[in-house]
Structure 1
Amino acid sequence: MKSATCLWAAISWLFIVPASTFSASADEELAAALKAAKWTSALRLDLQRPIDPRLATIEGGDVLRCGLFPGKTHLAHDAEEVRRLSSRLAPGDKLILAAGAWKDQSFVFEGHGTMEAPILICPEKPGSVFFSGGSSVRFHGKHLIVHDLAFRGITVTRNNTTVFAVGNGEARPADHCIFHRIRIEDCGSADSADRARIHVWLMALRGSDNTVAGCTFENLRNIGQMLGASELPAQGLQRLHILNNRFACRPYLDNQNGYEVIQIGWSGVRAAPTGSLIQGNTFEKCDGENELITLKASDIVVRDNRFLASQGVLCLRTARRVLVQDNVFDGHDRENTGGVRLQGDGHILLGNTFRNLGKPADYYAWPVSLMAADVETFGESDELGGYGRAKNILIIRNRFEHCAKRIAAGIYPRPQYPLLPQNVLAQENIFTDMKMSGCFDYIAPDSSGTLPKELRESGNQNLP
């Protein structure tokens, strides 16, 4: 039975922006903000790809009759039959999984479709296939569409287990694939004593131009990630799209690092450009750790997401040139619910709403916080360091409503992290019922007196 907690959760400017990726209103909003701020943006929105047009096709009705799959139909009753069909399907073919309970069923499937004729993997009837027990799956190849599979109550006994894997090592990525309406719920160790030591990934992706859309990730009990995409392509851009998914019920277990909901990139390598997009998702009651989303790569757009009652933040951990636009961070008055934590340069926060974010236990959970750093620009030298200096940051036209705090600049300064934020502009933001003035309610001690001069405010409002 699900817990009561889970039931509760239910910028023409210098850019070439694909019309099918950015809505006209979002594009105009960004262009107007940059003009108002007289801001020279470093964003690389030209790296974004259009949303895969096949997604709208499969969302429009009966996937089997949508016209994308004119080839043969192959029916598999178990994992062994799936394995026998691996690498044998032609573009446009359909792999149908027989209706029923797929308990303790694990397979690796390879397929190579085309843009015009992808390969479909789906259940015999809508919502009819349920993986359970010790099941796990792995897909690699090109132009696969995996649709409407459910994974419920998967029991994990081995460390570093992935329930739903996309890509099969560096040599066998998955490219140009869509993973749609996948449900992965209530997975982890049966023994609560194992949950803090056995790492579990609900979904892990390796490859380029993939889409995860309309999926549900709920109640991961173990250390590990709901969606991990840390391994970037060896060549080219990741351009991962995470669209309109629901992430819910990530309980707090302990203070270890490693309970993120989403991770893109890895801090052990250069902050590589990705052109990835996180859009339209809902995060409910995700409390695993202070980094709800951790971005360890650059050139990412985070837009139109809702963060609800989650004790964690969107962390631009080792990232550069990230656009954070039109998101809602609503803490539902819970303590230690935060907004955005920034390291690195070239970020823009535009049109976001920070609402009812309760008293933070530390600076990590401020509505907006900018960290102290140890390297000038992360990833530009062989010595990567821990944090890149927060600089050239535009915070514009956001709303802060009924929050316990505002914006913190230079959090956790210390001898090993001496580099404080530079060139930060907070403009035309609105603060409602927050009983204080000024945008910055924490400014790190700076004996040189330099930091306050780097923090500029213009046209902000304080409302009752």
Structure 2
Amino acid sequence: MKIRVNIIIWFVLCFAFAKAQNIPVDNSQSLNAAIKKAVPGDTIIMADQEWRDIDIKFKSNGTADKPVVLRAQTPGKVKLTGSSSLRIGGDYLEVHGLWFDGGDTGKNNVIRFEADSDTPARYSRLTNCAIIGVGPEQRDITSYYVALHGKNNRVDHCAFLGKTNKGPTVAVRLKNGADNQHRIDHNYFGERIPLGFNGGETIRIGTSTYSMESSRTIVENNFFEKCNGEIEIISIKSGNNIVRNNLILGSEGTITLRHGNNNLIDGNVIIGNNVPKSGGIRMINKGNIVQNNILIGIKGKEYRAPLVIMNGIPNTELNGYHQVENGIIQNNTIINSAPVALAINSRKGADAAPLNTKFLNNLFYSDDRSLVAAAFGDVTGIHMDGNVASTFVIQDFKGIKTIDFKMTAVNGIAVPSREFDSLLVGVKTKPKVRVDATGTLRSNLRAGAVVPGNFKPPLALVSEAGVSFISIAEMRAIAEKVSEVVVKVAPGERTLEKAIKNTIGPTTIILEEGIYSLSKGNKIANEITIKGAGIDKTFIKIAENVEKTPQYIFRMDGSKSLTVQDVSIDGANEGNDAVKYAFTSPNNATTQIYNLFVHNVRLDNFNNSDGGAVYKAYKGTKADTISFSNTHIKNAFRGLNLSYEKSSDGKYNAENIMIFNSSFTDIEEFAINYSRKGKELGTTGGNLLIDHCVFYRVDDSEKGRIIKVQGIENVSIKNSIIDNSRNTESIIQLKGANQKIENCVIYNSGKVKITGGASDNNILRTNPKWDSLESFSLKSNSELLNAGTDQKNIGLIK
């Protein structure tokens, strides 16, 4: 009998083990069939290849010991593209090693922990997966990279990058019930450009509707970098969640306790890198605790301050601002940052001041004289004690004492030296802060996030976030590519204006054949490329019946770069003055360095005599590069005007000006005025390169100058033609050893004046022999053919 029982047990075990297997699949049919037949312990292996437009419905059930696994044959080698998406539904499921690369899922979430409305995921895991550059072209379409439904699920060691449309990158949904107990850990959240309106969170836990329910989700050991979607990087809209030991670097936003009670924000390191909109932690609602956080170089003000305690709105709705009550902010370290913001109004009617809130044992340090905190309203409900500030810091609050102590930089984080331990004694807190940001046990009460003299790295700096198959350095390079949005714009009145106004982040605007009419100037606040169909096909001009002529066509207004190519731009406005400028720098002094690239463009009728110019640089502005290539400028008052730096300290408006294969025709005054006064140590002094250009009837007056380069250090003019400026006596004056003109033709025009070691080589006074004054092509017998220093024509080349 015993033998028979043993045989039966052996047979059952063999049968069970035989059913758990590795199942390779290489198309949607075999994948779907494998999922339907899967049993606990099975591993479905997707072949290394591109899987395009595939909707995976991973609906199955495993057990705690034997999950059902869906994985890549090789992590990162399974590329899901196009409209591909993944739904996970059932218990104990795991997904490993997939890469969603580009594509457009429309309104569908890329990954959803819900196979259908009746089958959420539970005890399931998404690990070592990447979603990069996926999303619709329209930013106002809402979708998520990951939607977490169900309970007890985990998203870990993943990478998310390049989301440009509305909706959180990762969203925890509470509609399937409270106490989700999800875990989001060791993920890399890479660059997310500003959305421009609400809905650009990186992580959101809950919504206003469910904000009074408990989620109990843990967000830990993640790395957030340049997460600039909106002011809320991590948005808490539910209760009893933990956000701990995360690193946030160079991001424009905050950890926001927007709705929900009794959340813990602990041990995070937020490094703002002095980004103007960088923020820290913002508190709203009841019973929330903010402790052990290290905040460095946070330069955001008011709502984006290092620590913010908001005012509430009396009797507010669920989606409003609830009063801060019983909040605790303790043992945080704030270094070289803007002042903390206390009792700040959220909006009109927000006069419910914080109540019974404690601000204890926080440490402030600054290398420069600065404020600790700013009160925007009634702060009597905020109890301050045990807080310490360095002597450079200005403090006007009881409960913040000023002490002369030093910090030591270790692991990129400044920590108080042990010799100042006795000076940083704090007060008793409840609850106790038992360990510091490094995980070290606190044996004594001390202010700050790290025990004095403890040079261990904070836990937020030692977690290994991201996927195994792409390094963070590689993803940073990818970010440059995936962040750009391409927008196609039809001809018509104001269509181009609207497209420019709606840009957020790097955008390429594609213009079709036709006329684009403008009624006002366009401020360029984002990195934009405008591409037409050709200079004889795409036309930008002022709309008919516009009474007030715009001052400019394009003005740099915070953008790093503007590129315009393959269009014609006309500054005329019938019956009114012409547009003054085609392009301008910012109109106020700024530290923003920008670039302007104009390629294959025709610019006509910028002949406003009230100081007009094709391009104007305002005082106090600086470009790295201004480049005009294959461009034709005709009938203008001035060409490029960079002459408004009048002080003697050596400032100038552009580091590099490059004019290549371009023509200036019928220009009333100068073609280029690029000048400075004095010397500015530590700079190149400016660089001008003019190559293969034509200047025809430019500044034809006795005292005129075709090209002005006073004080510029490096000037090179070559392979170019100056013709028909008959009355101009001195067309160019060069001075200095690094200024030269060579291999050029000057015909029916004045002379080049050379002083101070400047040089003129091979200057010809011969007739160019034009075949066409429209295209400046040369006749077949012109001696300028193939006579350039590069064996191409002197003058314009094809």
TM-score range, shorter chain: 0.7 to 0.9
Q: Does 1:124 align with 2:63?
A: no
Decide whether aligned partners of structure 1 residues 275 and 73 sit closer, same or farther in structure 2, where only a CA change above 3 A counts: same
Q: Secondary structure at the match of 2:229?
A: coil
Q: Secondary structure at the match of 1:80?
A: helix
Query: CA separation in 2, counterparts of 1:412 and 1:231?
Result: 26
Q: Secondary structure at the match of 1:335?
A: coil
Q: Secondary structure at the match of 1:84?
A: helix
Q: Does 1:459 align with 2:415?
A: no
For residue 352 of structure 1, report the CA deviation from its aligned partner: 0.3
- Residues 124-152 of structure 1 show CA distances to partners (whole Å, capped at 9, x for unaligned) of 22332111122111111110111111111
Aligned with residue 143 of structure 1, among 92, 101, 121: 92
| Counterpart residue number, 1:239 | 181
| Counterpart residue number, 1:249 | 191
Q: Does 1:367 align with 2:300?
A: no
| Counterpart residue number, 1:357 | 298
Query: CA separation in 1, counterparts of 2:211 and 2:190?
Result: 31
Decide whether aligned partners of structure 1 residues 410 and 350 sit closer, same or farther in structure 2, where only a CA change above 3 A counts: same
* 1:252-263 to 2 correspondences below 5 Å: 252-254=194-196, 256-263=197-204
| Counterpart residue number, 2:270 | 329
Amino acid at match of 2:236: L
For residue 410 of structure 1, report the CA deviation from its aligned partner: 3.4
| Counterpart residue number, 1:83 | 32
**Does the 8 Å CA contact 1:372/1:389 hold for their aligned counterparts?**
yes
| Counterpart residue number, 2:56 | 107
Query: CA separation in 2, counterparts of 1:229 and 1:287?
Result: 20
Query: CA separation in 1, counterparts of 2:103 and 2:347?
Result: 43
Aligned residue pair count: 374
Q: Does 1:218 align with 2:161?
A: yes
For residue 387 of structure 1, report the CA deviation from its aligned partner: 2.0
- Residues 398-417 of structure 1 show CA distances to partners (whole Å, capped at 9, x for unaligned) of 001000222322333632x3
| Counterpart residue number, 2:323 | 389
**Does the 8 Å CA contact 2:75/2:128 hold for their aligned counterparts?**
no
Query: CA separation in 2, counterparts of 1:301 and 1:213?
Result: 16
For residue 109 of structure 1, report the CA deviation from its aligned partner: 1.6
Query: CA separation in 2, counterparts of 1:414 and 1:208?
Result: 38
**Does the 8 Å CA contact 1:153/1:185 hold for their aligned counterparts?**
yes
| Counterpart residue number, 1:175 | 122
Amino acid at match of 2:357: V
Decide whether aligned partners of structure 1 residues 385 and 149 sit closer, same or farther in structure 2, where only a CA change above 3 A counts: closer
Q: Does 1:153 align with 2:153?
A: no
Query: CA separation in 1, counterparts of 2:211 and 2:204?
Result: 15
Which piece of structure 1 moves more, 113-122 or 97-106? 97-106
Query: CA separation in 2, counterparts of 1:161 and 1:338?
Result: 31
Amino acid at match of 1:188: G
Q: Does 1:422 align with 2:355?
A: yes
**Does the 8 Å CA contact 2:184/2:218 hold for their aligned counterparts?**
yes
Q: Secondary structure at the match of 2:191?
A: strand
| Counterpart residue number, 2:429 | none
Q: Secondary structure at the match of 2:119?
A: coil
* 1:426-437 to 2 correspondences below 5 Å: 426-433=359-366, 435-436=369-370
Decide whether aligned partners of structure 1 residues 436 and 457 sit closer, same or farther in structure 2, where only a CA change above 3 A counts: farther
**Does the 8 Å CA contact 1:248/1:285 hold for their aligned counterparts?**
yes
**TM-score normalized with structure 1 length:** 0.77
- Residues 220-279 of structure 1 show CA distances to partners (whole Å, capped at 9, x for unaligned) of 122222111133433x5200100010101100131x111111111110234211111000
Query: CA separation in 2, counterparts of 1:75 and 1:301?
Result: 39
Percentage of pairs with the same residue: 26
| Counterpart residue number, 1:447 | none
Query: CA separation in 2, counterparts of 1:311 and 1:413?
Result: 21
Amino acid at match of 2:309: L
For residue 117 of structure 1, report the CA deviation from its aligned partner: 0.8
Amino acid at match of 1:403: S
Which piece of structure 1 moves more, 179-188 or 165-174? 165-174
Q: Unmatched 5+ residue regions in structure 2?
A: 1-16, 393-798
For residue 69 of structure 1, report the CA deviation from its aligned partner: 12
Query: CA separation in 2, counterparts of 1:414 and 1:201?
Result: 32
Aligned with residue 186 of structure 1, among 107, 110, 133: 133
Q: Does 1:318 align with 2:259?
A: yes
Decide whether aligned partners of structure 1 residues 390 and 302 sit closer, same or farther in structure 2, where only a CA change above 3 A counts: same
Q: Secondary structure at the match of 1:388?
A: coil
**Does the 8 Å CA contact 2:58/2:115 hold for their aligned counterparts?**
no
Decide whether aligned partners of structure 1 residues 265 and 253 sit closer, same or farther in structure 2, where only a CA change above 3 A counts: closer
Q: Secondary structure at the match of 2:348?
A: coil
**Does the 8 Å CA contact 1:389/1:420 hold for their aligned counterparts?**
yes
**Does the 8 Å CA contact 1:111/1:142 hold for their aligned counterparts?**
yes
Decide whether aligned partners of structure 1 residues 293 and 391 sit closer, same or farther in structure 2, where only a CA change above 3 A counts: same
Amino acid at match of 1:353: I
- Residues 14-37 of structure 1 show CA distances to partners (whole Å, capped at 9, x for unaligned) of xxxxxxxxxxxxxxxxxxxxxxxx
Query: CA separation in 2, counterparts of 1:110 and 1:413?
Result: 46
Query: CA separation in 1, counterparts of 2:70 and 2:41?
Result: 11
Q: Secondary structure at the match of 2:259?
A: coil
Q: Secondary structure at the match of 1:173?
A: strand
Query: CA separation in 2, counterparts of 1:233 and 1:74?
Result: 32
Amino acid at match of 1:399: T
Decide whether aligned partners of structure 1 residues 435 and 424 sit closer, same or farther in structure 2, where only a CA change above 3 A counts: farther
For residue 70 of structure 1, report the CA deviation from its aligned partner: 8.7
Query: CA separation in 2, counterparts of 1:460 and 1:366?
Result: 17
Root-mean-square deviation (CA, aligned residues, Å) is: 2.0
Aligned with residue 442 of structure 1, among 354, 367, 375: 375
For residue 385 of structure 1, report the CA deviation from its aligned partner: 5.3
Query: CA separation in 1, counterparts of 2:157 and 2:18?
Result: 20
Decide whether aligned partners of structure 1 residues 356 and 169 sit closer, same or farther in structure 2, where only a CA change above 3 A counts: same
Aligned with residue 292 of structure 1, among 215, 227, 233: 233
- Residues 342-400 of structure 1 show CA distances to partners (whole Å, capped at 9, x for unaligned) of 1111111111011101143xx22111112222357x8xxxx635122111111111001
Which piece of structure 1 moves more, 103-112 or 316-325? 103-112
* 1:246-285 to 2 correspondences below 5 Å: 246-254=188-196, 256-285=197-226
Q: Unmatched 5+ residue regions in structure 1?
A: 1-67, 445-450
For residue 169 of structure 1, report the CA deviation from its aligned partner: 3.9
Amino acid at match of 1:402: N
Q: Secondary structure at the match of 2:155?
A: strand
Decide whether aligned partners of structure 1 residues 182 and 70 sit closer, same or farther in structure 2, where only a CA change above 3 A counts: farther
Query: CA separation in 1, counterparts of 2:304 and 2:268?
Result: 16
| Counterpart residue number, 1:12 | none
Query: CA separation in 2, counterparts of 1:285 and 1:69?
Result: 49
For residue 332 of structure 1, report the CA deviation from its aligned partner: 0.4
| Counterpart residue number, 2:145 | 202
For residue 84 of structure 1, report the CA deviation from its aligned partner: 2.2
Which piece of structure 1 moves more, 267-276 or 114-123? 267-276
Q: Secondary structure at the match of 2:101?
A: strand
Query: CA separation in 2, counterparts of 1:431 and 1:150?
Result: 43
Amino acid at match of 1:92: G
**Does the 8 Å CA contact 1:265/1:271 hold for their aligned counterparts?**
no
For residue 71 of structure 1, report the CA deviation from its aligned partner: 1.6
| Counterpart residue number, 1:45 | none
Which piece of structure 1 moves more, 161-170 or 206-215? 161-170
